[in-house]
Every structure is written in C-alpha cells, then in structure tokens.
Amino acid sequence: MNTLPNINIRIQRWVAIVSFLLLGIKLLAYFMTASVAILTDALESIVNVVASVISLYSLTISARPRDHNHPYGHGKVELISASIEGILISVAGLLIIYESIDRLVHPQELRALDYGILLVAGAGLVNYLLGLLCVRTGRRNNSLALVASGRHLQSDAYSTIGIIIGLGLLLLTKLAWIDSAVAISFGLLIIITGIRILRSSVAGIMDEADISLLKKVIVVLYTQKRENWVDLHNLRIIKYGHVLHLDAHLTVPWYLNVYEAHQEISEMESIIVHKFGESIELFIHTDGCLDFSCKICEKSDCAVRQHPFEEAVPWDLKNVTMDKKHGKPPEDVVS
C-alpha cells in the first residue's frame, strides 16, 4: 500500500477507538441523568462506532492494489461504506425522535444534569477535533469514506452543543419538556446530515460529474496550454477512492509521429500531476487535426496549414467536456 491509504487507515483506526470510548462516556452520562437529550448523543455514538468500523474495513479494502478482477482498483468500496454510514445516521435520527416523543408522553425525573453536561461537553470537543482531522485529511487524500466519517463526527459535535444549550435552559427553567424538544430538533438535524452523506455517496457510485474538480483541471490545462495542443474535448473524471481517473481526447497536429504525440501527452500529465498529486491516472487519446481545425489552431509555424486562424476556442466546462472536435465543421465530427 502507498502512503496516502496508510494515512487514511491509521486515522480511521483512531476514529474507531475514540468512538468506542466516547460511547461509554455518553452512556454513563445518560444513566446518571436519565436525559433523553443525552440519550440522543449516546445513540448517535453507537452509530459512530458501527460506521467507523465499516469505514475502517472499506479503507483497508480500497488500499489494495488493482488486480485482474479490479482493473481500476478497489476504491469504490469507500462509496458503499459512506452509503451505509448515511443510512445508519438517518436511522439514528428517527430513533431519537421516536424516543423523544415517547418521553414527552411518559416523562421521567431528571437528575445530576450538571455532571452529565460536563461529560457530554468533553466528548463533543473530542468528536469535533477528530472530525476536523478526518475531513481535512480525507479531502487532501480524496477519500470520501474519511470525509464522511469526519462529517459524521462533526455533526455529532454540533448536536452536542445544542444539547448542552438545551440542558442549560432546562436547569434554569425546570421545564421538563425542553429535554425532549432539544432531542427532536437534533434528531431532525442528524437525519438531514445522513441524507446528505447518502446523496454524496450515491453520486459517486453513479459516477456523477464533479463540476468543481473539472473546472479546476480545465483552468490548469488552459493556463499552461502548449502550442501543439490544438483542441481538447471529451474530458471526464471518475473517482475510485483516493485515485482520480481522467479521460480526454487531445487534438495534435496530424504530422506528429507516435513518439512526438506521446511527448505531448506526457507534458499534459506532468502538469496535472504537479497540481493535483500522484493520485491521478490519465487516459488521453490523441487525435490528428483535420482541415477545419486550422480555424482554431494557434500554432504559428505550421507548414501545412489549410485555412487561416480565425478564433481560439476557450477551454471551459461546456467546450472541453463536449464529445466533439471543435472548429465548426459543416457536419458533426465525433471522435
């Protein structure tokens, strides 16, 4: 395994260990206080433990090198892990709301709220810091599973803040219904978080285009465009765990030999790798220019030009992702 997956796995292993310890702390706080709001935190921590173990397993699998049965690697398993985590978070939110409504109907006496608040506050701070580490590392290493795990921990921390505020009001007002009201509010917030994670993972499974990433790649290539890069089209990017796979068709002068055309691809690859790191694979197909390409070709010393240069085609999201050579020919010319 290379360095990035190892880092992801090591962090996720700590997430699993810490989540288990925090679950114990929150359960202790619940049994001390009988607060359904604190039970909300404890239930979400149960989901944290289960989800962290699933994420750890998926990161371990995704770090395996490609093989005969998985030519693109095992990175997609991270999307499955994130989907499961999103479902578990949503289910936890529903359970929290159910328990809160039941507590409104059948109220119980609360006790030792001050100690419970201190325990939950400490657990929330640890959750937030660990979640922040997961999100930052996951984004840097292109790991959706680690980002999902971090967002889950952060949402747990935000819930804890609200719960602490609610319990503080309960201590001041002695209104027992505040406990259930706070739990219901954050149950809804947890459900929304779970749905967002599920939506993001399903988008990855369906290979939905990452518009933001595409725009960044296009800007980098256009600002460092080489003279022999006549046209770029059919650009696509697919995520497989921490690895990005980039496909594109690059139009070059038709008279370049195989070696020269390959050199143009190598230049493009070095530019992208320098900007986005080595966790990206390029599959670039070269097309020889046609006569209509002359109108958009900026090559100044072309000895075989058929038409004068008219106008450069801007490399933007619409143009570069189009599955068609540019140059406005009489009829569509699809590569």
CATH of the domain at 251: 3.30.70.1350
**Is 312 inside a domain boundary?**
yes
Judge whether residue 334 has pLDDT over 80. Answer: no
**Alpha-carbon gap, residue 177 to 174, rounded angstroms:** 9
Q: Are residues 163 and 70 in the same domain?
A: yes
Q: Are 230 and 255 in contact (CB under 8 A)?
A: no
- pLDDT greater at residue 332 or residue 231: 231
Q: Are residues 200 and 67 in the same domain?
A: yes
Tokens representing 37? 């709001």
Q: State which of 80-94, 130-144, 254-268 shows the largest mean pLDDT.
A: 254-268
Q: Are 288 and 299 in contact (CB under 8 A)?
A: no
**Alpha-carbon gap, residue 101 to 89, rounded angstroms:** 19
The pLDDT tens digits of the residues spanning 146-201 come to 787 788 788 778 778 877 888 888 888 878 788 788 878 878 887 887 888 788 77
User: In the prediction, which pLDDT does 253 show?
Assistant: 93
Stated as kind and residue range, the H or E segment containing 264 is: helix 258-276
Q: How many domains does the chain have?
A: 2
Half-sphere exposure in the Cβ direction for 182 (13 Å, CA): 25
User: In the prediction, which pLDDT does 48 show?
Assistant: 74
How many Cβ atoms sit within 10 Å of the Cβ of residue 296?
20
**Is 333 inside a domain boundary?**
no
User: In the prediction, which pLDDT does 1 show?
Assistant: 43
Concatenated DSSP letters for 49-86? HHHHHHHHHHHHHHTSPP-SS-TT-STTHHHHHHHHHH
